[in-house]
Amino acid sequence: MPEFPLPPDYQPFRELTLCSNILVNVPVPIQVGGRPAFLVGQSQSDRPPLPLVWLAAPSSPNSKEWAFVVASNQPLRPLIVVETDHSTATVQIQVGGTLALRARQFSPDAAVVDALDLRPLGLVAYGSETEFHLGGMMMERNKFENLYAAFAIG
């Protein structure tokens, strides 16, 4: 599958823990139709560490094209709220009042996503710190290394 160009300011973490599954040198956790469903990257600023998150959704109802609705922690649509906490290096994104993603940086080259619910955006992908559900599959404590995308749909 061809690789979709990633945002120019996206710098992936060397290691990302996605709901107990470890991704090492995997820039795209989930892709849908060849495009990232979300990205969690390193900040290049001088501020305290804080993950930068990109989150995608279908461009319009019934569309198979996905586009970012959050880019570098900035919401691009109404009903999306991004909260950042520099003291805990945490980013939380809510979609219509539902916690869609929580990411925390815990070292210069590692972060964890311990809460995920992309169902409000049209993708059956959700998880907690102990397990990850994608479609009808449940995964926990797996390790993926040196891939473009850990999970690809369509």
Q: Report yes or no on 24 lying in a domain.
A: yes
Domain tally for the chain? Answer: 1
Q: Report yes or no on 9 lying in a domain.
A: no
For residue 56, the model assigns a pLDDT of 96
Domain that holds residue 100: 15-140
Q: Report yes or no on 30 lying in a domain.
A: yes
Q: Report yes or no on 62 lying in a domain.
A: yes
Q: Report yes or no on 2 lying in a domain.
A: no
Hey, which residues does 12 pair with through a beta bridge?
Answer: 41
For residue 1, the model assigns a pLDDT of 47
Cβ atoms of residues 68 and 12 within 8 Å: no
What would the two tokens of residue 144 be?
A: 């993926």
Backbone angles phi, psi at 5, to 5 degrees: -65, 130
Whole-number Å distance between alpha carbons of 73 and 17 = 19
For residue 20, the model assigns a pLDDT of 98
pTM for the model: 0.93
Backbone angles phi, psi at 63, to 5 degrees: -85, 145
In tens digits, what is the pLDDT along the chain, a chain of 154 residues? 456 789 999 999 999 999 999 999 999 999 998 899 999 999 887 567 899 999 999 888 888 888 999 999 999 999 999 999 999 999 999 999 999 999 999 999 999 999 999 999 999 999 999 999 999 999 999 999 999 999 999 8
